[in-house]
């Protein structure tokens, strides 16, 4: 696919990580995750650093292993209100079952992206955390994971210009009024013949360029930070989440401010390295003040191109952000990076060409050095053959795995015991109105 290829629908495939790196200092832009010719022996698995403790939450949480369930949008929410249109969603009972199935004693789960506002809802059937009615469903999720001895962080996600007005009932907003380019498309939910607001042909793809965002005023920026803070407080104080992670990558609202091709502002929120970083830093500081820095984390994709985030000065901007973040929130729970070569909708050759234009040694190593002792999580296309030795190499303190967790609720056990992994079903990742449980909570564990 070319760089202008349309995005998957809903526009959240970036939740599924798909690249990795073994040596953080010598990794080149074109390296793929390396599969081993044979599975590690039982003694090698037993000695693996994957199964050693890791402290996060500024010492408040000690994980029993370093295999983290990555954030993955699954579109299994149910409407808050009966009627049409449905634009606010809450977790169905199956959501609690899904997360509990994948919980392990001392293991960490990061939830799917949770919208902190109606305005930030980037996809249908994604449960939010901006209404009182949404709290009980998420509390049930947390209680179910805690009952298994696990930990769970809520990922908060605002889509910015990636939010279609048909999903929110509101105009989309962004750092600037920068529309998507031609070729970027999304899709409405499948037609509902009984809906009184049915839109003819609304199961078809629509051009994102037809829905340009409005540039956020300073008041909008303050309100958006307030929305995130309110959602974080609900998550921690009312639902009982152990912490929150901000989705700061994949071309969504945080990355829209960081990306020079989207952020065209010339006030204090743009126009310079410091300006591009101001909103994300104010957001992180606000969250730390509200729930404690030790409960706050962020996910970043400094070399991503998803949602047409094609900005320049990437090393300068993201390095500045990380330095300022380290100073502002020194007790940050962890930081979560997507590897440079990973891309969702760009062909590998095109992404390689882009990365080479930035230099032959595009790596996350500068960010590791800046963040120092902050636990450094990495996302990549890890599986039962390429995950071994990564923690030992220093590439990451923990490995987040996405797709294989969908089809292997007992993934940690399978890795520990050297058992084969069940293949995931991509057709059931997202919006599935025919049977929301199929491909979601019906994958068996070993021996079932």
Closest to 122 (Cα-Cα) out of 253, 216, 245: 253
**Cα–Cα distance, 57 to 228 (Å, whole number):** 19
Residues in a beta bridge with 296: 244
**Cα–Cα distance, 321 to 218 (Å, whole number):** 20
Name every residue whose Cβ is closer than 8 Å to that of residue 61 and which is 6 or more positions away in sequence: 55, 108, 151, 242, 243
- To the nearest 10°, report the CA torsion of 50, 53, 59, 60: 100
**Cα–Cα distance, 192 to 200 (Å, whole number):** 10
Concatenated DSSP letters for 8-37? Answer: PSSS-GGGS-----S-TTT--TTPPPPPPS
CA-based max dimension of the chain: 62
Name every residue whose Cβ is closer than 8 Å to that of residue 383 and which is 6 or more positions away in sequence: 33, 35, 401, 404, 421
Pick the catalytic residue: 252, 269, 354, 424?
252
99 catalytic? Reply is: no
Closest to 401 (Cα-Cα) out of 132, 43, 18: 18
Contact in structure between 244 and 235 (CB atoms under 8 Å): yes
Closest to 68 (Cα-Cα) out of 151, 162, 185: 151
Closest to 150 (Cα-Cα) out of 47, 59, 74, 240: 240
Question: Which residues form the catalytic set?
Answer: 252
């Amino acid at each position: 696919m070319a760089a202008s290829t349309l995005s998957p629908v809903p526009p959240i495939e970036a939740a599924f990580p798909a690249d990795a790196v073994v040596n953080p200092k010598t990794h080149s832009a074109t390296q793929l995750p390396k599969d081993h010719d044979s599975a590690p022996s039982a003694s090698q698995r037993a000695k693996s650093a994957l199964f050693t403790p890791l402290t996060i939450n500024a010492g408040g949480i000690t994980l029993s292993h370093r295999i983290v369930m990555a954030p993955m949008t699954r579109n299994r929410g149910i409407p808050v209100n009966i009627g049409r249109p449905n634009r606010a969603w809450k977790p169905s009972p199956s959501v609690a079952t899904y997360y509990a199935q994948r919980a392990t004693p001392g293991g960490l789960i990061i939830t799917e992206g949770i919208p902190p506002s109606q305005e930030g809802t980037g996809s249908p059937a994604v449960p939010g955390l901006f209404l009182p009615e949404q709290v009980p469903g998420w509390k049930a999720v947390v209680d179910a994971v805690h009952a298994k001895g696990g930990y769970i962080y809520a990922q908060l996600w605002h889509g910015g210009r990636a939010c279609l007005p048909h999903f929110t009932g509101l105009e989309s907003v962004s750092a600037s009024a920068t529309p998507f380019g031609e070729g970027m498309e999304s899709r409405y939910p499948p037609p509902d013949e009984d809906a009184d607001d049915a839109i003819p042909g609304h199961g078809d793809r629509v051009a994102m360029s037809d829905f340009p965002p409005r540039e956020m005023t300073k008041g909008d920026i303050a309100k958006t930070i307030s929305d995130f803070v309110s959602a974080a407080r609900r998550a921690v104080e009312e639902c009982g989440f152990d912490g929150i992670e901000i989705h700061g990558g994949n071309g969504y609202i945080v990355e829209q401010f960081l990306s020079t091709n989207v952020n065209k502002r010339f006030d204090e929120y743009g126009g310079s390295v410091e300006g591009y970083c101001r909103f994300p830093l104010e957001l992180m500081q606000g969250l730390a003040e509200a729930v404690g820095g030790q409960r706050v984390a962020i996910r970043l994709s400094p070399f991503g191109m998803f949602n047409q985030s094609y900005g320049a000065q990437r090393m300068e901007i993201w390095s500045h952000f990380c330095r300022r973040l380290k100073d502002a929130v020194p007790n940050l729970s962890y930081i979560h990076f997507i590897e440079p070569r990973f891309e969702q909708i760009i062909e590998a050759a095109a992404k390689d060409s882009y990365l080479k234009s930035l230099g032959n040694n595009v790596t996350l190593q500068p960010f590791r050095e800046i963040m120092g002792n902050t636990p450094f999580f990495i996302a990549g296309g890890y599986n039962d053959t390429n995950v071994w030795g990564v923690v030992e190499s220093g590439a990451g303190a923990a490995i987040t795995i996405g797709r294989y967790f969908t089809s292997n609720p007992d993934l940690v056990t399978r890795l520990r015991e050297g058992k084969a992994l069940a293949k995931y079903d991509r057709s059931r990742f997202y919006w599935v109105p025919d049977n929301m449980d199929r491909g979601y909570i019906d994958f068996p564990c070993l021996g079932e």
